[in-house]
Structure 1
Amino acid sequence: MTKAPKELLRSLFDAAVASAQPAVCVPPFLPNDVKGKLVVIGAGKASAAMARAVEDAYEGELEGLVVTRYGYGVPCDKIEILEAAHPVPDEAGLEASRRMMDYVSKLGADDTVLCLISGGGSALLPLPAPGISLEDKQAVNKELLACGATINEMNCVRRNLSQIKGGRLAAAAHPARIINLLISDVPGDDPVNIASGPTVQDTTTVYDALAIIERYGIALPEAAKAHLDRMKEEADAKGPSGAAPLSLEGVSIETHIVASPQRALEAAADVCAQEGIPAYILGDSIEGEASDVGVVFAGLSKQIVSHSQPFKAPCVLLSGGEATVTLKGKGRGGRNVEFLLSYAVTMGGAKNVYALAGDTDGVDGVEEIAGAICDPTTIERAWEKGISPSASLANNDGHGFFEALGDSVITGPTMTNVNDFRAILITEDGR
C-alpha cells in the first residue's frame, strides 16, 4: 500500500464518483437514428452535467429543458438549464415541471425524447395531482424524510400524489419515442424508483402507497389524503385489476442505466487492486437504519481484526445503498455520518481500522458535506474536545461531530449521484 490510510479511502471515494461522471457514461448511449427533433429533458442532481455531455457528444440538432438542484447547473448552448430546490421542493421546481409537461405534449411520432434522469429528480419535479398544492407536497416530503422510510417507499408515495411521476411524463410525450438514460441512486436500480420514474411504467399501486403511509404513521395534508382516498375508491370499484397504475402500453420507451452504485464500487475496487489490497464488495443496495448498519459493519470488522474471518487483513470492505435515519434528536444529520459515527462508537478505537462514508452527490442529508472519515483516534479526540460520541449519535448530529474533529469530506457538487459509498480499511500493522 503506497498511500496513507485516509488518503487511500479518499481516493476510493473519488474513483467511485469519477466512474459515474456524465461525460464518461452518457455518450455511449446517444441515439443515431433520430428522424424528427431530438428533444432533451431531464431532472436530477446530475441532469445538467448529463445535458452538457449530450451537447458535447451529439453531432445532430437538438433542443431541450432540464432541471437540476441549486448550484448544480452546468452551462449549455442548446438545452435550457433550470435550477430548483432539493430535497424539499419549491416554486421553481413546480414551474419547471409544468413547462416540461407542456413541452413534450407538443411532439410528434417522428420526434425523440432523450430523458436524462438522476437522483434528486423526485423533489425537482414536484407537479402535484389535481387539488394538491405545492405546500402540501412540501409537507409530505418533510414527513417522508423524517419517518425512516426507504427511498423506494418514499418514491411510491410521491408517485401516487403526482401529475408527472410514475410514467405520466412519458404518457404526455406520446406518440414521440422516449429514450431514458438513467444514473441510478437507488438500491436495486429499478427505473421506477429513480426520480420516481417519470418516464417508465409504474409497478406500484395506491394500495402500496396507503400501506406505507400507515406503516410509518405519516401525517398527510387533507388534500393529499382526499386524493388518495378517491384513488382507492376508484380502484375498489373496478375490482381486482382496478389498482393497476397508468398503463404505458403503446408508448415507445427504451431505458438504459448508464451509471450505478455497483459500477462505482467496482471502480473503487480497481484502485484497491492497484494498491495491492484485496477489496470485497459486500453489497450495492444495503438499506436499514444508518446507526444499525454501522453496528453490523463494526461487528464484521471486529471479526476480521480478532479472527481473520471472513477475510484477512489487510483488506477493504466496500458497500453502497441508501440507509435511512429516523430523526429523534435535533442535530444536523445525515445518513452517511450517522452510519460512520455509529460504526466508530461501536469499534471503540480499534487501532488498525479506518472508514469513510459519503454521498456521491456531495450532499449528505441537507448539508453541503459529502460525509466523513474516522480513524483509530476518532473517539479519543472527541472526548479530548469534550464531545460525547454517544450523545452526538443520539442527537443525530454526525455532521457536527465530524466537523468539530476536522474529518468532514467536502467535495462540492459532484455532478453525479450513485447513492451512498462506504469503505472500511483494515490494516495489518495499525498504521
Structure 2
Amino acid sequence: MNVTLDADAPTERHETAFACLRAGIEAAHPERVLESTVRVDDGRLHVADAAYDLARFDRVVVGGGGKAAAGVAAALERVLGDRIDAGAVVTYDPGDGERIDHLPGDHPVPSERGVESTRRVVSLLREATDRTLVLAVVTGGASALLPAPADGVSLVDLQRTTEGLLDSGAEIAEINAVRKHLSTLKGGGLARAAAPATVVSLVFSDVVGNDLGVVASGPTVPDETTYADALAVVDRYGLSVPGSVRERLERGSAGDLAETPKPGDPVFDRVDTHVLADGFTALDAARAEADAHGYDPCVLSSRVRGEAREAAKSHVAVGEEVLATGNPVEPPAVVLSGGETTVTVRGDGVGGPNLEYALSAAVELAGETRAVLASVDTDGKDGGTDVAGAVVDGTTLEERESRAAAREALARNDALPLLDECDCVIRTGPTGTNVNDLRVLVIDRT
C-alpha cells in the first residue's frame, strides 16, 4: 500500500520528513506485516514463531476489531482463503470481505452502531467449541469500536464517561482500567466469550511498552486492574460520571460484582497472543528511510508520553543540542520519536496530541532555518479530527504576533485552525493501521 500525504514539501528537509512518515506508516500496514509474519505451510498456520495444525480444528473463525482490523481481515483472507469458515471485525473504515464481515463502529467515542456490530462479533464467538480456532484481531482503537456496555450501564452513560476520560488528560492505561470495568468484552471478556476455543490473538499495538492489558483494553488477556483501580481514576481526575457508572464501580469495589478474569483464570488456558506490529515497527522503517536520504538517524524513544506540548519542547531541545554540540548525532540528522502523548482539555477548540505537539514545536523553532518537525498519528486521525497531524519549521511562526497567537491557541486547545491557516496540516485519510504517533525532526548543518 502507498500512503499519500496531502501537505506541501518546499524543501529537501520537508521531503525527507514526509518520506520517513510514509515509510513508517506503510511498514505498519497489515498487508505488509502479515506478509512476513503469517503463512500457511503444509496444513499448518504459522504466526510469528508459533504453528497451529489446522487439522485439529473443525472451524476457523475470525473476530475482533480496531482501526487496523479491516486490513488484518483482508490479509487473513489472502493467507487462509476458504479455510476461514466465518468472521466479523468492527472498524471505523470498513471494507468488503468475502468470508469476514467488516462491520462499522466509531472512535474515539462508542456509538449505537458499534454496539450492534459488537453483538454480532460476540454471537459468532459464543458458537465456538473446543474444535474451533479463533483468530482474534486486536488493534488500537478497539476500546471504542468494540463497545459492549455492562449490565446497568447504558450507551449514553458509557459515552459521557468516555468523553470525560479523554478530556481529563488521563493516561491510556488509566482510561482503559475504567472502560474494562464497564464492559463485558474488555479485560479478558473476548477470551471468556470464545472459551473453550483455541484463541490466537493477532495484536497491532498502539500502547507504549506493548502492555497487552491496555491495547484495545485487553480483550484476550488477563486483567490486572480492579474495580477499585477504576474508581480511583474517576476520583483522581475529579470526573463527574453518570450515577450508573459510579454505582457499578462502587459495588465492584465492595466485592458485590464479579471481577474481570485475572491471571490464572482457565479461560486463558488456550489463548496465545502475538504482537505483530507496534510503534517501533514504524520507527525502524523511518530510521532506514532517513539513512537512505543521507541523514544520520537517531531514535530518541518509542515511549514518549505526557502532555503533548511539553514533550514537543524536549524533542526540539534535542535538535538544538545536535546543532550546538553534535550530540547525540552530528547533523545532517533525523531525530525520531514515537509513543502516545496526551492533551488535558481546558478549552473548547479543535485539535489533538500531534497538532498540539507540532504547534508547540513551531513556537520553539521560530527563526531556526535548519530544522523541520513533522508529527502524525499513524492511523490518519489525530484525536477527534480528520487530519493526521502537521509539519512545522522555523518560518511557521516567524512573527512575534504569530507566536503569541499560537500560545493562545494552545491555551484553548485550538491548534488545528491556526496550523491549517499556515498550510502546515498533514492529511492522509484513514491509513489502515494504528501503531500510535510518529514524529520526525530533520536537521541540516545549513
Q: Is the structural similarity TM-score above 0.5? A: yes
Matching residue of 1:18: 26
Q: How does 1:185-334 map to 2 (within 5 A)?
A: 185-234=206-255, 245=262, 248-250=265-267, 251-334=269-352
Matching residue of 2:53: 33
Q: Is 2:402 aligned against 1:396?
A: no
Amino acid paired to 1:9 = A
Q: Is 2:408 aligned against 1:425?
A: no
Q: Distance in 2 between matches of 1:53 and 1:74?
A: 12
Q: Distance in 2 between matches of 1:388 and 1:144?
A: 28
Identity value in percent:
36
Matching residue of 2:423: 406
Matching residue of 2:68: 46
Matching residue of 2:5: none
Matching residue of 1:4: 12
Instruction: Give secondary structure in 1 for the equivalent of 2:219.
Output: coil
Matching residue of 1:65: 88
Greater mean alpha carbon deviation, residues 200-209 or residues 157-166: 200-209
Matching residue of 1:345: 363
Q: State the superposition RMSD in angstroms.
A: 2.0
- Please say if residues 296 and 330 of structure 2, whose CA atoms lie closer than 8 Å, have aligned partners that are also in contact: no
Matching residue of 2:125: 104
Q: CA deviation at 1:41?
A: 0.6
Moved over 4 A (4+): 381-384
Instruction: Give secondary structure in 1 for the equivalent of 2:286.
Output: helix
Amino acid paired to 1:57 = V
> Cα deviations across residues 268-301 of structure 1 (Å, max 9, x unaligned)?
0001111221111111111100011112222222
- Please say if residues 296 and 329 of structure 2, whose CA atoms lie closer than 8 Å, have aligned partners that are also in contact: no
Where structure 2 has 5 or more consecutive residues not aligned to the other structure, the ranges are 1-10, 40-44, 46-51
Q: Distance in 1 between matches of 2:392 and 2:399?
A: 11
Q: CA deviation at 1:383?
A: 4.8
Amino acid paired to 2:79 = A
Q: Structure 1 381/58 Cα, relative in aligned 2: closer, same or farther at 3 Å?
A: farther
Q: CA deviation at 1:392?
A: 1.6
Q: Distance in 1 between matches of 2:151 and 2:21?
A: 42
Q: CA deviation at 1:243?
A: 9.0
Q: Distance in 2 between matches of 1:291 and 1:211?
A: 26
Q: Is 2:122 aligned against 1:122?
A: no
- Please say if residues 189 and 261 of structure 2, whose CA atoms lie closer than 8 Å, have aligned partners that are also in contact: no
Amino acid paired to 2:356 = E
Amino acid paired to 2:73 = A
Q: Is 2:177 aligned against 1:156?
A: yes
Amino acid paired to 1:37 = R
Q: Distance in 1 between matches of 2:65 and 2:261?
A: 26
Where structure 1 has 5 or more consecutive residues not aligned to the other structure, the ranges are none
In the alignment of these two chains, the number of paired residues is 420
Matching residue of 1:134: 155
Instruction: Give secondary structure in 1 for the equivalent of 2:338.
Output: strand
- Please say if residues 171 and 248 of structure 1, whose CA atoms lie closer than 8 Å, have aligned partners that are also in contact: no
- Please say if residues 167 and 248 of structure 1, whose CA atoms lie closer than 8 Å, have aligned partners that are also in contact: no
Q: Distance in 2 between matches of 1:407 and 1:382?
A: 18
- Please say if residues 184 and 418 of structure 1, whose CA atoms lie closer than 8 Å, have aligned partners that are also in contact: yes
- Please say if residues 345 and 389 of structure 1, whose CA atoms lie closer than 8 Å, have aligned partners that are also in contact: yes
Q: Give the TM-score, by structure 1 length.
A: 0.93
Q: Distance in 2 between matches of 1:25 and 1:382?
A: 46
Amino acid paired to 2:130 = A
Amino acid paired to 1:68 = T
Q: CA deviation at 1:36?
A: 1.3
Q: Distance in 1 between matches of 2:263 and 2:160?
A: 25
Q: Distance in 1 between matches of 2:126 and 2:265?
A: 15
- Please say if residues 382 and 389 of structure 1, whose CA atoms lie closer than 8 Å, have aligned partners that are also in contact: no
Instruction: Give secondary structure in 2 for the equivalent of 1:73.
Output: coil
Amino acid paired to 2:270 = S
Q: CA deviation at 1:382?
A: 9.0
Q: Distance in 1 between matches of 2:235 and 2:29?
A: 38
Q: Is 2:400 aligned against 1:378?
A: no
Amino acid paired to 1:413 = P
- Please say if residues 181 and 258 of structure 1, whose CA atoms lie closer than 8 Å, have aligned partners that are also in contact: yes
Amino acid paired to 2:277 = A
Q: Distance in 2 between matches of 1:101 and 1:181?
A: 17
Q: CA deviation at 1:26?
A: 2.1
- Please say if residues 387 and 401 of structure 1, whose CA atoms lie closer than 8 Å, have aligned partners that are also in contact: no
Q: Give the TM-score, by structure 2 length.
A: 0.90
- Please say if residues 344 and 379 of structure 1, whose CA atoms lie closer than 8 Å, have aligned partners that are also in contact: yes
Q: Structure 1 206/319 Cα, relative in aligned 2: closer, same or farther at 3 Å?
A: same
Q: Distance in 2 between matches of 1:411 and 1:124?
A: 21
